[in-house]
Structure 1
Amino acid sequence: MKMTRLKTIGLALCAGLMLTSCGSDKSASALDVIKNLPASIKSRRATPKPISAAEIAQALQATNKPVALFQVENRKNAQVLLSEVERNGAYQTFGNQSRQAVVLRDGMITASRGLGGDLMSVEEDELLDMIQSRGSGNVSYVQRFLTPEYKTKVIIYYCSVRPGAGNHTPLGRASIPTSSVGVSCKATGEASFENSYYLAGDGTIVSGRQWMGETIGYVDTQLLRY
């Protein structure tokens, strides 16, 4: 994912929310629903209340836009619902009024904003292609983070892809048949990680467990509508 495109995420998020706020009553209702769901994915102090099936159903009824559910494991499984605010080809930016945003490409996380320790960008082509083809092999994968000194930290991982090896329970209940792919990644001097992806027939990652760096850790994802 190109760094130049990521500079527009914050503006696109704000613009998308402004347009939604000025739109129909249905869109305004959707923002009210999402605004009133568990507030901040950043909170570590109290054990957050899981988003209920009723709240998910209410959010889906309130908007026709794609909606995704995210759960951060190392933050006491804090959950947040985000709706799509921008789409650029295969890339979808999901966000809320708190200016938290996650960018997905066919369900794979490629960037985040407003979560703390954000993933700035990735180079995901090789890994995503292998996952979507349900192939087996070794590929490279790159993650970029911004350090406290405002320098870009680039981590190059070498990943092993194994179809049928998803070893993590998908977040929520899958409403469509999926196939699983497991990925093991290592980088010199960095934490290794094990991701799991659950793909629909068209290759979209509808659920998964994805590593977003040492600060955020693992994030469970589920596309409720895409």
Structure 2
Amino acid sequence: MTRFAPLVLLLLAACLRPAAGPSLDAARAQIASLPAHVVSRGVILVQAGSPPRVASLTPSGKNGPVTTWQSGDRVSLSFLQGVLVATRGLGDDLMAQDAGPLPKLLSQGQGGTYQRQTRHLSGENQIRGTTLTCSLEPGNPERILLANGTTDARRFVENCHAGTLRITNLYWRDTRGSLVKSYQWISEGAGYATIEMISAPPGQKSP
């Protein structure tokens, strides 16, 4: 596993804060003022947890194709080509998730149907697996706001279900093929995470 230097974490002072603290808009304004050499290492802005908290995260390690991003207080999210596959430090964490064909479909701008596996801890601290049946539908291009300005991106809607569980994830892919924003489910307890990519690590298109 490749680990990244914590320089950017220190410069950002990026602790997750309660909803009463900085809003997404305030966090965007702070990140927009960061020097270029900091942003070039990779930065994402995340709102997650219950109650919602806002943080800027930087790359902390890489395990094969999976990149892990971490905040100043060690909350981490791991992604496979922009698709959330694990979280730590949010309470009801996503222990692991199979991305399935989703990254490939998003990169090709296509829809499809497929299954994904998720794993969470039960109340007895046992791993509980769930098989989700999912569909991905490409939408129309739209203009979205990010910390570094507005950009044109195509929205993709992913609907998944398992029994009474219903999940809707959203992904925005820009004209360069990068996943610049997403809204992805973590767990029933933690809810959803909103992820905005300020900059990708060198050599990557997505978180």
TM-score range, shorter chain: 0.7 to 0.9
Aligned equivalent of 1:150: 125
Amino acid at match of 2:12: I
Structure with the larger helix share: 1
**Compared with structure 1, are the counterparts of its residues 82 and 93 closer, same or farther at alpha carbon in structure 2 (3 Å cutoff)?**
same
Structure 1 residue corresponding to 2:45, chosen from 69, 72, 81: 69
C-alpha distance in 1 between matches for 2:126 and 2:108: 35
For the pair 1:32 / 2:7, whether they are aligned, the reply is no
1:63-212 equivalence runs, <5 A:
63=38, 64-72=40-48, 74-75=50-51, 77-164=52-139, 172=146, 175-189=150-164, 191-212=165-186
C-alpha distance in 2 between matches for 1:60 and 1:148: 44
Amino acid at match of 1:223: M
Amino acid at match of 1:154: G
C-alpha distance in 2 between matches for 1:90 and 1:165: 29
Q: Does the aligned pair in 2 maintain the 1:171–1:220 contact within 8 Å?
A: no
Structure with the larger strand share: 2
Q: Does the aligned pair in 1 maintain the 2:9–2:57 contact within 8 Å?
A: no
C-alpha distance in 2 between matches for 1:202 and 1:90: 20
Amino acid at match of 1:221: I
For the pair 1:213 / 2:191, whether they are aligned, the reply is no
Amino acid at match of 1:66: G
**Compared with structure 1, are the counterparts of its residues 123 and 165 closer, same or farther at alpha carbon in structure 2 (3 Å cutoff)?**
farther
Q: Does the aligned pair in 2 maintain the 1:85–1:94 contact within 8 Å?
A: yes
RMSD of the alignment, in Å? 2.7
**Compared with structure 1, are the counterparts of its residues 165 and 141 closer, same or farther at alpha carbon in structure 2 (3 Å cutoff)?**
farther
What is the CA-CA distance between 1:34 and the residue it aligns to? 2.3
What is the CA-CA distance between 1:70 and the residue it aligns to? 0.6
Once the two structures are superposed, residues 31-85 of structure 1 have per-residue CA deviations (whole angstroms, 9 ceiling, x without a partner) of: 33322x4x335x4xx623213334102445462311101112752x421100111
The normalised TM-score by structure 1 is 0.75
Aligned equivalent of 1:225: 199
Highest relative contact order (Cα 8 Å, sep 6+), 1 or 2?
A: 2
Amino acid at match of 2:21: P
Which 10-residue stretch deviates more, 54-63 or 133-142?
A: 54-63
Q: Does the aligned pair in 1 maintain the 2:172–2:179 contact within 8 Å?
A: yes
Q: Does the aligned pair in 2 maintain the 1:141–1:156 contact within 8 Å?
A: yes
Match of 1:157, SS state, is strand
C-alpha distance in 1 between matches for 2:48 and 2:141: 18
The normalised TM-score by structure 2 is 0.81
Q: Which runs of 5+ in 1 are unaligned?
A: 1-7, 21-26
